[in-house]
Structure 1
Amino acid sequence: MEKIRIDDLDSWQGPASVKRPLGQALGLMNAALNYYELAPGESFAFGYHRHEDQEEVFYILEGTVTFETGDPEDPTTVAVKAGELIRFEPGEWQQGRNDGDERVRALALGAPADSGETTILRPCPDCGDQTPQSVERADDADALVTRCVECRAETGRFD
């Protein structure tokens, strides 16, 4: 048996104000479980993305999350409110963000724990299109950055 307190876990750096790896702390072997808090304008992920081998379920505890899913060129938008869940199949494109004025709290469950290859798309100002991205530690080590795989331009910074 493992028992944890969410507030006792360190938050990981990324696009969300708070991301705490609950599954890791609990010793989950076959699933990933994360706790998130999103301030207005923040996202769960670094961009529009898909996990090749992992299905994901998001349970919204507080607030409303706007998810985009489907074809990256013409995504479908779905609002998910507190008390609701949304599931994404392995390989399904997705991005969830807080477009509201209230803070969002949510749990994300992914299985298997290893998501396989994750493909991330973000707009690249230099390429003029949405392009595949990598996530790297910034040179100053104070943030994570996304970079266009094609031209290496920095497309986002996450403190």
Structure 2
Amino acid sequence: MEKVTVDTVEPRMGPASVKRALAGPLDADDIALNYYELEPGDSFGFGYHRHPNQEEVFLVQSGTATFETEDGDVRVEAGEAIRFAPGEWQRGYNDGNERVVALALGAPQEMGDTEMLRHCEDCGGRTHNYVEMTDDRDALVTRCEECGAETGRFT
């Protein structure tokens, strides 16, 4: 048995105000488990994405999260959960005025190569992107795979 206090886990850089990866401290080998706090405008992931080998479940504990999906936007309120099968496109974000608190579970833990789309100003539309650490290691940036332009910066 393993137990962890969420607030003692070091937060990670990214598009959410707070992201705490709990699987490692809990010594969980088969699932990914992340705690999120999203301020208005924040998102769970770096862009519209899919995991080829991992299903994801988001349980909203407070606030309302909106998920962009292949079938349109879906609002998930406190006490509700949403599941995405492996290969399903999605982007969860907070477009409200209240903070969103949520847990995300992924199985298996290893998600495979994530495919991500973001808007690239230089290319004039959504393009495939990747994430990299800045040289000074103080931010993560997303870059367009087609032209190399920076499409987002996250601390």
Same fold by TM-score, threshold 0.5 exceeded? yes
Residue 113 (1) aligns with residue 127 (2): no
1:32 is aligned to 32
3-state SS of the aligned residue for 1:25? coil
- List per-residue Cα deviations over 1:80-103 (Å, max 9, x = no partner): 000000000000000000001111
Residue 89 (1) aligns with residue 74 (2): no
With structure 1 as the length reference, what TM-score do the two structures score? 0.96
1:16 is aligned to 16
Cα RMSD (Å) of the superposition?
0.8
Q: Aligned to 1:155, which of 147, 151, 155?
A: 151
Alignment of 1:73-152 (within 5 A): 76-152=72-148
CA displacement at 1:141 relative to structure 2: 2.0
Runs (4 or more) in structure 1 with deviation over 4 Å come to: none
| Distance in 1, Cα, partners of 2:101 & 2:131 | 24
With structure 2 as the length reference, what TM-score do the two structures score? 0.98
3-state SS of the aligned residue for 2:68? strand
Q: What letter corresponds to residue 154 of structure 1 in structure 2?
A: E
| Distance in 1, Cα, partners of 2:3 & 2:134 | 34
CA displacement at 1:117 relative to structure 2: 1.2
1:42 is aligned to 42
Query: How many residues align structurally?
Result: 155
List alignment gaps of at least 5 residues for structure 2: none
CA displacement at 1:124 relative to structure 2: 0.5
| Distance in 2, Cα, partners of 1:24 & 1:155 | 30
3-state SS of the aligned residue for 1:7? helix
| Distance in 1, Cα, partners of 2:112 & 2:139 | 24
Q: What letter corresponds to residue 113 of structure 1 in structure 2?
A: Q
CA displacement at 1:129 relative to structure 2: 1.4
